[in-house]
Structure formats: structure tokens, C-alpha cells
Structure 1
Amino acid sequence: MTDVKHAPNPRADFGRRLRQLRRDRGWTLAEVADRSGLAISTISKAERGVISLTYDRLSQLARGLEVDLAAFFNAEGQSFEPGSFAVARKGDFKRQETPNYVYEMLFPDLWNKAMTPMMGSLKAREFMDFEDFVRHPGQEFLVVLEGAVTVFAEGREPVHLEAGDSLYFDSAVGHLYASDSDQDARILVVCVPGAGT
């Protein structure tokens, strides 16, 4: 039986890691906010484990702190080198949960990857569940593993995807994913950062 006081808390762990990365640089919340484009209150809440950040905000924060995205999940990691070969077994991931998504960040101890692979679950059921579109520099690949998904893209008609269907797009275009059933859909997403990110 797991002691509730000592149960893993990914949001609190993430917050401690974020605070340590900021302090290692000797930067204030205001400096990180200026560098990342995120609000001071957002960074502060993330550091205190009050909120979890979506992928687009994680990317902004990583650029602002000048760290690899994986640094938020592991204090140390190995850089991906030519000839490298890494295996992730089922359950080998770091969890990041937001109100609409559960991200399973794959290979969190492998730094300087050319892409960010994530598996996850979609808790959102419709566009109204979101405050705004997600957007970040780069390209994105999505494949539906289980269930059905509607992809909302800024300026486009929604796209319905069934299990086995996939989509590849410019992730700078605002986008959202929502499950099309009473069950959370399972997806695999691979993000490739844009030039200069």
C-alpha cells in the first residue's frame, strides 16, 4: 500500500525541477517570463505544482530557460549521439497531466532529440473544453491508437480521425485534439521543433 504522503506527484516534481533550473541560472520569475513569453503567474503556479503546462507552454519555457525540454523531467540525461539506440519499455515515461490531455513524455532521460515523441490520452470532448488553440513552432505528427478524435485547426474545418488514421501538419497553426466518444482516446504525437527553437 502506497503512503499518500509519499505518493508520486508529477506536478510537484515538475515544479521543483523548474524552480531549480531557474535558480541555477540565477534568474527571477520576471526574467524567465520575459525570456519565455509566459506570464509570471503561469510560471509561479507551475513551480508551486498548482498547474501543469501544455506542450506549447513547455516548449516556450524550455526556449526561455535555454534547456532541453527533457530537463523538466530528469535532472540528468544523456545526449542522443550518432549511432545511439534507445528502447522505451511500456510504462517508461514521465507523466504531465493538464485538464484536457495526459501526456506521456517518452525518452525523458534522452536529451537533444530531434523530435519529441509523446503518447497520451485525450480527456477533452469538444472544442469548448479549451481556452485557446495550442500552437508552437515546428511540425507535428498524430496517429490515433484507440478511439476517435476530432482535430480542430485554426481557419479549417474540423477533421475526424478513427483508430489507425494519422495527420501531419505545421504546428504553428493553432490546433486542438478532442476525443469523439465517452472514452478517452489514445494517441501518439511526435513534435519536431522549428528552426531556431
Structure 2
Amino acid sequence: MNESALSKIEREQMSPTFSALRKLAHGFGMGLPELLEAKKAETPSGRRSIVRAGQGQTQELANYQLRLLASDLRRPAFMPYEALVRARSLSEFDEWDRHDAEDFVYILEGTVQFYTELYEPMLMSQGDSVYFDARMGHAFVSVGDVQGRMLCVTAAQE
């Protein structure tokens, strides 16, 4: 991430992309949930996390609204979250989303166009899913009247 973009994010003149948040977390040697919340005490083994309907930590990004699920766990093996796809066009992305992980996405509601830098765009509707190498540039765009809503699972970075 360049200094100009980081400065704009710090001054709240620009919302960070999901990719930018992952890069910041990786640069600080922590997971994304740790970056987005205050430091907590070590979690004992046998842990669990429950998030009730309509609750959970939210994160506003340029093209998505995320609701983090299990954000209270430190160093989880994977990161589950719900994503509301705000983008209506690929041109709304300054750059591809990408991070050093594997992602699983399940469409809960609406229709989205899944773009990648290596494959043809794929139209996905409720009940469809995709598992992909997130190092490949990618983006989701809502299509139609209903904003796309997705359940996403990102494998933790090592």
C-alpha cells in the first residue's frame, strides 16, 4: 500500500478496501479481527463464539459492508463474515481485492457478478458458492434490484 493511500485512510478521506485492511493486519503481524478491535486477553482452549442475528461487529468498506462473525476470537484458523455487496460496477474498484489466503463465498441473497483477473466473469445467485485462491485479483458486484449478501470464509494467513 502506498503512503498516499495510507495517509488518506488515516485522515478518513478514503475508506480502505478489504485488501488494504488485510495488508495492514499482515504488516502488523496480526489477524484482521485484531486490527479492527481493541486488544483482548488470550483466549483459552475450548473456545467458541456466538453472534446473534443482527449483531456482530460491522466494518464499512468502499464496496462492501462486512459483519464479522467470531471477531472475539484471537488468531482464528479462519475468518467468517457476512458481506453486503455495495458495488454496482467493476469500475467502482480502484484495484482488485486480493490477499494471501483462500476464500469460500456462499450467496445468501441477491445476484452478484464474480470477477477475477484470470477467469471470465461468473454470474452467481442465491445458493451458489465459489472456493478460490484469493491471491488472484477478484471483485464482487451486485446485479439487479436486491444487493448481494454473501457468507464468506477466509482462511487465516500464516
TM-score of the superposed pair, with normalisation by structure 2: 0.89
Equivalent residues in 2 for 1:1-197, closer than 5 Å = 38-194=1-157, 197=158
Total equivalences in the alignment = 158
Q: Distance in 2 between matches of 1:48 and 1:113?
A: 30
Question: Which sections of structure 1, spanning at least 5 residues, go unmatched?
Answer: 1-37
Q: Distance in 2 between matches of 1:51 and 1:129?
A: 13
Q: Distance in 1 between matches of 2:43 and 2:104?
A: 21
Alignment check: 8 A CA contact 1:122 1:185 kept: yes
SS at match of 1:103: strand
Question: Which sections of structure 2, spanning at least 5 residues, go unmatched?
Answer: none
Give the CA deviation at 1:79.
4.5
TM-score of the superposed pair, with normalisation by structure 1: 0.73
Give the CA deviation at 1:113.
0.6
Alignment check: 8 A CA contact 1:52 1:96 kept: no
Counterpart residue identity of residue 94, structure 2:
E
1:69-119 CA-to-partner distances (Å, cap 9, x unmatched) read: 222222123545542122111233222222321111222222101111110
Higher helix fraction (1 or 2): 1
- The more displaced of 97-106 and 115-124 is 97-106
Q: Distance in 2 between matches of 1:163 and 1:80?
A: 35
Alignment check: 8 A CA contact 1:152 1:177 kept: yes
Q: Give every structure 1 segment of 4 or more consecutive aligned residues whose post-TM-superposition deviation is greater than 3 Å.
A: 78-82
Higher strand fraction (1 or 2): 2
Alignment check: 8 A CA contact 1:80 1:112 kept: no
